[in-house]
Structures are given as structure tokens and as C-alpha cells.
Amino acid sequence: STRKMMSTVHAKGGERLVMTKGAVDRLLEVCDRIMLGGAETALGPKEKALVLAEVEEMADQALRVLGGAYRRLEADEEGGGPGLEKGLVFLGLVGMIDPPRLEVRDSIAECRASGIGVAMITGDHKATALAIARDLGIAQKAEDALSGQEIDGLDEACLVERVRTVRVFARVSPEHKVRIVKAFRAAGNVVSMTGDGVNDAPSLKAADIGVAMGITGTDVAKGASDMVLADDNFKTIVKAVEEGRNIYANIRKAVFFLLSCNLGEILCIFVPILLGMPIPLLPIHLLWVNLVTDTFPALALGMDPGDRDIMKERPRSPKESLFAHGGGAFVVLNGILKGGIALAAFLIGRGIGGEGEEGLALARTMTFCVLSLTQLFHAFNTRHLTKSLLKTGLLSNPWLLGAFGLCASIQVAVVAIPGVAAFFKAVPLDLGQWGIVWALSASTLFLNEFAKLGVRLSLRLKA
């Protein structure tokens, strides 16, 4: 990889031949003759220009081009090494093609749509690399490519500026790869590097995430990487990014759900104390809500299948807050909403049951049920901050449906079964009271749907 040439010595018919293959530009430097029409002819500037023009034409067709040369060794020439590579006869060119997998082009387009930049780093000729890059949609213009020789002429600051636009790096050495990775990172990017050879190990280590090939990769490359591809498929990297984004999104959903629910509980207790009213919930009620109607929906949100459009979003900054893009407002407003609905249930219960102890027990029971069921409905709100539930799919998360059904059934049983209700200091509710409870609880779902509709319309107007 350093010399970009390789030679072997062969005995044939009583004479010895040195056979050399390698990069054409490097090979021409050690040749002084060329084989034309079956005869050796002097290799002058004109012949070199013709060879290099042919190389460019082949490279433009995405062919990897190698040159071949030879010479007969003198009887007194002994030993080996690069010293034998002199006075060679240039024989011709060999063009090879390693077509990219069909799915790579689509995967690169998906990366571009999701704000992920893809760069090609190769030892191939610049024209070959650019032709392949055009075919894959990585680059289009000659200005999008940079050779290792050009990199050598740039200091670190200039290289950082160039990597902002350059997407093809050709004729590079292992040292160049490390410089390129460091330049991308210095430009403010989170960098993932793929590789399979021993020479890729330094750049795999220098990247934020080194990805080695599991089939063709060397043990050194695998040891230097953070991740190993079992199938050596670029599409798997894109799938891993999608999976990672959905995992992060599910963590946010669970956190937002728990915080907004707990904020609602705090307001439901704190506001009546400030106003000198009786406390709407007993400790046993709060304990039940936190152990049951908080826990199971939060776990189900962690199992959410994910957003089908998540790869259309731009990458988030590592410094970005968990509550960015409206997350904080969502938590606060829904916490206030749930606390307000629970207090409304308490006041309605007091109005129905009166001011005595029986009326207070009824109000607390209605508040207890509304707070529990509101959280179950709110779990569906949390699946996406802006998309409608109809868009995310009401039935797409069976775990959440199961959690809703289980917790709602248990909540009804807690109030309906006399012995259990007595333990929770609850009283039975009639059909009218249950209708009020369910209507208040479901209102959080409809109010969030209207709010999301307003956010979507606002975003469309801005766009």
C-alpha cells in the first residue's frame, strides 16, 4: 500500500524474469520501454501520455486499473527487493470492476434523506473513485474528490474546511485515513468509519464508532472497532442507525410519560392544599397509581415498534437536551392538564355527593379512577409529540394495548369489588358516575390530538 507496486521473480527457460504490477503512474516511473506490436519500443513522453489517457478513460468507467511490466534479469543480478524494479518494459493495462451491491445506492439515498453524510475513502485512482461515487449518488463533480497527494499539501485547518464539501478521497494511505477521520470530527461531525484490513485499524480507532467487517475483516480491524458487521453489508449500518434512533425515541417517550404523570399527581395534591380544600387522594391511591398505572404503560412505551419516518429526521446533536423540540412543553402542559382533569373529577364528585364524609369518599374515588385512567390514555399521546394517533397506528403497539386493557380492568375491579374497595377507601360508582370518569379520562386524548393538529399546521405554515 505504501509503494503501490508488487514484484515477483520467475525462472523460465534458463532465464529469470521480474514481473511487476501496480498503480500505472508509479509503474511508469520505473519503465523505460513499452511493448508495442510484439516489439519493445522506447517509452517516451508521448507513449506515457497515451497510456495515462487510456487509464483515465478506463477509470471513468469505474474500472480499477493496474499496469503490468517485466524485464529479464542479468546473470549477475542477485537478491531481490525494490532494487530490481528498474528499466522495466511496460506491457499493458488490466481493468477490473467490483460493482457495488444493488441495495447500497438506496441505503445511501436513505442516509442523505436523514441528514447522514457518506464519504468514500479508497486507494483507487481518483477518476475510478469519482465514477463509482457518481453511480452511488455520493458525489457528482470533480471538486467533490480529493487525492492523497492533494491531502499532503493541506494543513489540518485547510483539510477541515475541505471535508465539509469533499465526499471522495482517492489514492489514500492509512495515514491519510486517520487525518480524514480527525478532520471530520474537528468539523463538528460524529464520525463512523468502516474497514476490514490491518491498515484500517488506526482510522477505526480514531473514529467515534469504528465498524469492522465480520466476514472479510481481519482480527486486528475487529479488535480496533466498536461494532462488527456480521454480514458485511452497508445496509445493516443504516438499519443500526434506525434502530438506535428508535431506542432513543422510546426512552424519551417513557421519560415524558412518567414526568407528566407525576407532575399531574403533584398538582392534584398541592393545589387543594394551597386552597385549603380536602386532599383529593389518599396515600394508598398514590401508591397504587405509581406502582400500576405508571409502570405498565411506561414499559409498553419502551417496546414501541418505532416511527416509520424516523430516518427522515435530521441527526440530533450530542449536546441536545432530552426535552428539545417541544419535549419540555409537552411534559409541563400535559402535567397541568392531568392535574386539572383530576381536580375537575374531585369537584364534580363533591357536587354529586355533597359536603359530608360520604361525598368526600365519592369525590376521592372518582379522582382516583380519573387519575389512573387518564394516565392510561396519556400513554397513547406520548407515542409521538406531533403525529396523530391515527398516523402512528392505534393497534401498532400490542404491548401498550395489553397494558391499557390490564390496568383499566384492574382499576375497575378495585372500585367494583367491595372487599378490595374498602381496602382502598373507595366507594362503588354507578353508571352515570363511571360515564363521567371515562369521559374525563378520555378527554386528555382528544385535547392532545387537537393540540398536535395545531402544531402540524403551524409547522406547515413555517415551511
Q: In this predicted model, what pLDDT tens digit does every residue of 235-255 receive, in sequence order?
A: 999 999 999 999 999 999 999
The model's confidence at residue 40, banded by pLDDT at 50, 70 and 90, is very high
Rounded to whole angstroms, the Cα distance separating 300 from 254 reads 9
Q: What is the pLDDT of residue 31?
A: 95
CA dihedral 257, 263, 266, 270 (to 10 degrees): -150
pLDDT of residue 59: 86
What is the torsional sign of CA 37, 40, 44, 48?
positive
Residue 420 in grid coordinates? 378490595
DSSP result, 382-411: TT-SSS-HHHH-TTS-HHHHHHHHHHHHHH
DSSP state of 83: G
Q: So what's the pLDDT on residue 38?
A: 87
| Cell of residue 352, nine digits | 354529586
Instruction: Evaluate if residue 169 carries a pLDDT over 80.
Output: yes
Does residue 434 have a pLDDT over 70? yes
Alpha-helix residue ranges (DSSP H) falling in 207-233: 219-224
**Beta-carbon count within 10 A of 6 CB:** 11
- pLDDT tens figures, 329-384: 999 999 999 999 999 999 999 999 888 888 999 999 999 999 999 999 999 999 99
pLDDT confidence of residue 463: 67
- Please list, in sequence order, all residues whose beta carbon lies within 8 angstroms of the beta carbon of residue 302, skipping any fewer than 6 positions away: 250, 251, 253, 254
User: Does pLDDT of 286 surpass 90?
Assistant: yes
Give the C-alpha separation, 344 to 277, whole Å: 13
Mean pLDDT score across all residues of the chain: 91
CA dist 351 and 240 (Å) reads: 56
Which H or E run contains 347? helix 327-353
Residues 18-54, buried b or exposed e (16+ Cβ, 10 A)?
Answer: bebbbbbbebbebbebbbeeeeeeebeeebbeebeee
Residue 79 pLDDT class (50, 70, 90 cuts): low
Q: Give the number of other Cβ atoms within 10 Å of residue 293's Cβ.
A: 25
Q: What angle do CA 152, 154, 158 make, to 5 degrees?
A: 150
**Cell 517509452 maps to which residue?**
43
- CA 241, CA 199: separation in Å to the nearest integer? 26
pLDDT digits (tens, 9 = 90+) for 92-114: 999 998 777 778 888 898 898 88
CA distances from 408 to 316, 372, 434, 443 (A): 36, 8, 12, 16
HSE-CB at 243 with a 13 A cutoff on CA atoms is 6
